[in-house]
Structure 1
């Protein structure tokens, strides 16, 4: 797990020395992602330079140093992430004539790309963002993993193409334009985080998950998709469900086994829920690991899950530690994180994720998580709520009076609905409008079961919010997080599940719960689900948020008034909207404090 940065000079007047100094500064800004080592490389013609900060996990010797050059000297790579099946791929490559100098997964990735090109990406079980320079044709290749577990930002401004693991590093570019438009603000409010390929900055982009991008002397081409997750409907009989439980059990076993490979201590986040509990159960019961598990709790909050985590740790035999957060300080925590987030993210569980990551890093370097389990195996109650509503409106759906897409992307999958956004900007700006229309059409123009439709749109639009939260909060603490639920084998298996395998006994994750029952009492698994975060209706927290929001209206340092008029902010703070909640206040306040800590240039309307 690392930080990467690079520049490809297409047509700027920067000298090779200036490019070298700039790339080194970019990587230095992300030192928290890689505190163990640093490296730099520049092409002979000075056109391309890449820098790397390393968090040493696999092969902690100098053999894993980056940037890394291929054996034939033709290619150089900077890589952020892990290739979990690198040992298997290494053996296959050796069988076809490859030689290796280290035990590093980076060298396996580099050799595989050198031998097979981008087709090699389809063999990888891992998370990654990387830059690969090919001196034979003077091109740079960027690639990102299938679900976007690892970030990869880029921009092309003033003749310079640049990429990095964090958006802030790009702001160091000379003449950088930090333009932020109504389009981007409204998209953030609707989706909780701006979906790829867009970012909070008009001229910067995120490489979409499962995509590559090639840059040549004439500039960047168009991103090309190499991986896509799509759920399918295939009705399973009771007998085949039993076989699928066995199959999933074996897939989880192999996925956890691969993710236990490291030359540093490994622990696990443990919430007491089915995803993290099943992961820890496999670690302890199948592999005999004395797991160090970690959780977070909230003082005086009924929804705090730390007691469940403690009880689960006792049941599974893990050594357990937890940290308690005082809700009275939640707003202060938000301000602190807003100042260090590379891009605003409304997910309020950033706070507990940050603190549990900090606790874990004091004892381990890697932590297992349960992320992706809800999307892969239908763990969100909103899926079944909407399915029931659709059933009740079946005749209205046929007559087009009621739409699944609008119901979901207004009341469930959309934080600030259209009428809120219209009140802020007079109309829904173009980008947010287009993205919402696309998401709604994807749900409406589909014959699959509603649960499978929702899983797919959440993998595209909501899972990135969750994964960005985990990546940013863990890496601020130099901690690597690994999830077994997003391996390509499990993702393929989950994509083929029918609703009958996802929903049973009145609960989601039916097939995953059947696997979990092999380790955990069924009565435990039937408890109500708790979210990994503060009770949003906690009077302490909401009271502090309201107090802070009212201060915002008279604070001369308020930056948000450059984007949203004070009168409209006042309407938002006054809770004049139906279903106005903790999360809306949180999103507005976090955006203001993010703007105070970052470069920005407002532009009303949609920039061209």
Structure 2
């Protein structure tokens, strides 16, 4: 787990010295991602500079330092992530006649790319973002893992192409433009993140998950997908739940073996949910490994999961560590805004940040259960929307109700259409168009709805909100987080599950639950699902309303540069009292983010004020 950055001179008009200085500044901005070392590599012709900040996990000796050059000097890589199946891939490459100088997974990845090209990525069980330079071809290739566990941003001007793990670093590249349009703000306020491939800045982009991008002198190519998570259209299956559970258990154990490889201390997050608990149970019961587990709870919150986590830890016999906290959320929203390179309104950023800080006191790597809901169908909104569809058959036939509109509503959006208009006056054109495309993707699909929801969430919500949150909050503390549920083999298994092997009524994760039943107490599995997030009832909403009111009314309000103050006044008078905690949190975080990051107002929204409506 590391931080990467790089620059490519598209025209030959920039000096190597300027590129090198910029690359060093970009690497320094990523120190929290890699406190154990720094490396800068410049091509002999001065056209390409690669930078790396290292968090040593596998082969912590100097042999694993980056950027890494191949033995023949033709290939160079800067790599952020972990290649979990590198022992098997290394054996295959050795059988093909290749030799290795280090124990590093980076050398295996570089050797595979050098021999097989970008097609080698389809053989990798990994989380990663990388920049790979081929000196003979003068070609830079960027690539990102299948689900977007590791981030990668880029931009291009007429003269230079730049990329980095975080926008904090990219902002230091020559030619960076800090302009933000109202479209990006509207996207964030709708989805709680800026939908890819856009980034918060007008001229920056995110490389989407499972994609590669090539850059050559004078040319920046278009991203190309090498992996897509595509779910089944089957409604019924022939394999029993026990047969499927046998297969899944084997796949998870294999995925965990790779994710337990580490030359530094390793533990696991334990929230008390089925996903993280199953991970811990498989490690302790099937792999017979001792395990440190970590959980946090909120003081005064009756729904805090730390008690459930403690019970599972006792059952499994883990070396359990817990901490009860009572953070000042008004201070924490400002802190999180400063630390986030791009706004992310997932309120569980806060507990993830605090849990990562706590775990890092003892370990450098932590396993998590992220991805379990998307892979196996665990979100309550899936069942709510399926039930709503069944209850509205007549309206569907009459053309007055759609499943797509029901799913992409307050079930998953922070501000849906009406609420966004109440805040902004009118939603910018790209936002209704994007929502229309997502809703129509559901309405026009003949597959089971729960499979369509899983696929869309894996493409959008998972990388946009969940994985971005985990990466940024953990890496603020130089902690690597790994999840077995996003193993390529586990994902392919999950993708082919038919509807009746995912859920029955409101009971989801049928196959994963069958695996868990073999390892965890039945009464514990019967508990209702809880989310790992802020205790928003009561003190959450009561605290955030006056905070947002003050921020919007203040003379130095940054959002007022994009949205007319008269519109804010209407919103404050008519809607703020009805706004949910999640809406208030999103607005407060965005305002603090704009105050603490480079940001110039580009295209603003300047409508006539409209009456506020409840969101």
Q: Do they superpose with TM above 0.5?
A: yes
Once residues 212 and 239 of structure 1 are traced to their aligned partners in structure 2, the CA distance between those partners, rounded to angstroms, is 36
Preserved contact between residue 188 and residue 194 of structure 1 (Cα < 8 Å): yes
- Match of 1:267? 267
Q: Secondary structure at the match of 2:40?
A: strand
Q: Secondary structure at the match of 1:301?
A: coil
- Match of 1:115? 115
Once residues 345 and 134 of structure 1 are traced to their aligned partners in structure 2, the CA distance between those partners, rounded to angstroms, is 35
- Match of 1:38? 38
Preserved contact between residue 234 and residue 447 of structure 2 (Cα < 8 Å): no
Q: How does 1:280-295 map to 2 (within 5 A)?
A: 280-295=280-295
- Match of 1:353? 352
Q: Secondary structure at the match of 2:388?
A: helix
Alpha-carbon distance, 1:431 to partner: 2.1
Alpha-carbon distance, 1:400 to partner: 2.2
Once residues 343 and 548 of structure 2 are traced to their aligned partners in structure 1, the CA distance between those partners, rounded to angstroms, is 17
Once residues 88 and 82 of structure 1 are traced to their aligned partners in structure 2, the CA distance between those partners, rounded to angstroms, is 14
Once residues 115 and 29 of structure 1 are traced to their aligned partners in structure 2, the CA distance between those partners, rounded to angstroms, is 33
- Match of 2:178? 178
Preserved contact between residue 12 and residue 158 of structure 1 (Cα < 8 Å): no
Structure 1 residue 375 and structure 2 residue 387: aligned? Answer: no
Q: Tell me the matched-pair count.
A: 605
**Which stretch shifts more, 458-467 or 477-486?**
458-467
Deviations 1:89-112 (A, max 9, x none): 000000010100001100000000
Once residues 132 and 460 of structure 2 are traced to their aligned partners in structure 1, the CA distance between those partners, rounded to angstroms, is 28
Preserved contact between residue 549 and residue 572 of structure 2 (Cα < 8 Å): yes
- Match of 1:138? 138
Preserved contact between residue 251 and residue 489 of structure 1 (Cα < 8 Å): yes
Structure 1 residue 498 and structure 2 residue 468: aligned? Answer: no
Once residues 357 and 239 of structure 1 are traced to their aligned partners in structure 2, the CA distance between those partners, rounded to angstroms, is 39
Once residues 128 and 574 of structure 1 are traced to their aligned partners in structure 2, the CA distance between those partners, rounded to angstroms, is 47
Alpha-carbon distance, 1:287 to partner: 1.8
Preserved contact between residue 2 and residue 54 of structure 1 (Cα < 8 Å): yes
Preserved contact between residue 2 and residue 79 of structure 1 (Cα < 8 Å): yes
Preserved contact between residue 129 and residue 142 of structure 1 (Cα < 8 Å): yes
- Match of 1:255? 255
- Match of 2:613? none
Alpha-carbon distance, 1:239 to partner: 4.9
Q: Secondary structure at the match of 1:410?
A: coil
Once residues 251 and 536 of structure 1 are traced to their aligned partners in structure 2, the CA distance between those partners, rounded to angstroms, is 37
Preserved contact between residue 562 and residue 605 of structure 2 (Cα < 8 Å): no
- Match of 1:560? 559
Preserved contact between residue 183 and residue 606 of structure 1 (Cα < 8 Å): no
Once residues 281 and 173 of structure 1 are traced to their aligned partners in structure 2, the CA distance between those partners, rounded to angstroms, is 45
Once residues 239 and 602 of structure 1 are traced to their aligned partners in structure 2, the CA distance between those partners, rounded to angstroms, is 56
Deviations 1:281-315 (A, max 9, x none): 01111222221100111010112111111111101
Alpha-carbon distance, 1:174 to partner: 3.2
Q: How does 1:290-305 map to 2 (within 5 A)?
A: 290-305=290-305
- Match of 1:602? 601
Once residues 156 and 310 of structure 2 are traced to their aligned partners in structure 1, the CA distance between those partners, rounded to angstroms, is 49
Alpha-carbon distance, 1:578 to partner: 9.6
Q: Secondary structure at the match of 2:130?
A: strand
TM-score for both structures, normalised by structure 2: 0.96
From the superposition, tell whether residues 577 and 606 of structure 1 become closer, same or farther in structure 2 (CA, over 3 Å): closer
Alpha-carbon distance, 1:534 to partner: 1.5
Deviations 1:27-67 (A, max 9, x none): 11010000011111000110000110000000111110100
Preserved contact between residue 23 and residue 173 of structure 2 (Cα < 8 Å): no
- Match of 1:487? 487
Once residues 420 and 501 of structure 1 are traced to their aligned partners in structure 2, the CA distance between those partners, rounded to angstroms, is 37
Q: Secondary structure at the match of 2:240?
A: helix
- Match of 1:24? 24
Structure 1 residue 422 and structure 2 residue 424: aligned? Answer: no
Q: Secondary structure at the match of 2:323?
A: strand
From the superposition, tell whether residues 29 and 344 of structure 1 become closer, same or farther in structure 2 (CA, over 3 Å): same
- Match of 1:591? 590
Preserved contact between residue 23 and residue 49 of structure 1 (Cα < 8 Å): yes
Q: How does 1:80-91 map to 2 (within 5 A)?
A: 80-91=80-91
Once residues 402 and 199 of structure 2 are traced to their aligned partners in structure 1, the CA distance between those partners, rounded to angstroms, is 29
- Match of 2:542? 543
Once residues 222 and 593 of structure 1 are traced to their aligned partners in structure 2, the CA distance between those partners, rounded to angstroms, is 34
- Match of 1:527? 527
Question: Where does the alignment leave 5 or more consecutive residues of structure 2 unmatched?
Answer: 607-615
Once residues 335 and 75 of structure 2 are traced to their aligned partners in structure 1, the CA distance between those partners, rounded to angstroms, is 40
- Match of 2:233? 233
Preserved contact between residue 82 and residue 127 of structure 1 (Cα < 8 Å): yes
- Match of 2:189? 189
Q: Secondary structure at the match of 1:411?
A: coil
Alpha-carbon distance, 1:196 to partner: 1.3
Once residues 13 and 168 of structure 1 are traced to their aligned partners in structure 2, the CA distance between those partners, rounded to angstroms, is 25
Preserved contact between residue 303 and residue 534 of structure 1 (Cα < 8 Å): no
- Match of 2:446? 447
Alpha-carbon distance, 1:360 to partner: 0.6
Q: Secondary structure at the match of 2:242?
A: helix
Deviations 1:110-152 (A, max 9, x none): 0000000011000000100000011111110000001000000
Alpha-carbon distance, 1:182 to partner: 1.1
Once residues 63 and 270 of structure 1 are traced to their aligned partners in structure 2, the CA distance between those partners, rounded to angstroms, is 34
Once residues 421 and 504 of structure 1 are traced to their aligned partners in structure 2, the CA distance between those partners, rounded to angstroms, is 35
From the superposition, tell whether residues 433 and 506 of structure 1 become closer, same or farther in structure 2 (CA, over 3 Å): closer
- Match of 2:611? none
Once residues 574 and 461 of structure 1 are traced to their aligned partners in structure 2, the CA distance between those partners, rounded to angstroms, is 34
Deviations 1:59-80 (A, max 9, x none): 1111101000112211100000
TM-score for both structures, normalised by structure 1: 0.97
From the superposition, tell whether residues 585 and 571 of structure 1 become closer, same or farther in structure 2 (CA, over 3 Å): farther
Preserved contact between residue 545 and residue 577 of structure 2 (Cα < 8 Å): no
Deviations 1:547-589 (A, max 9, x none): 2112213423321111222233334444627962000000000
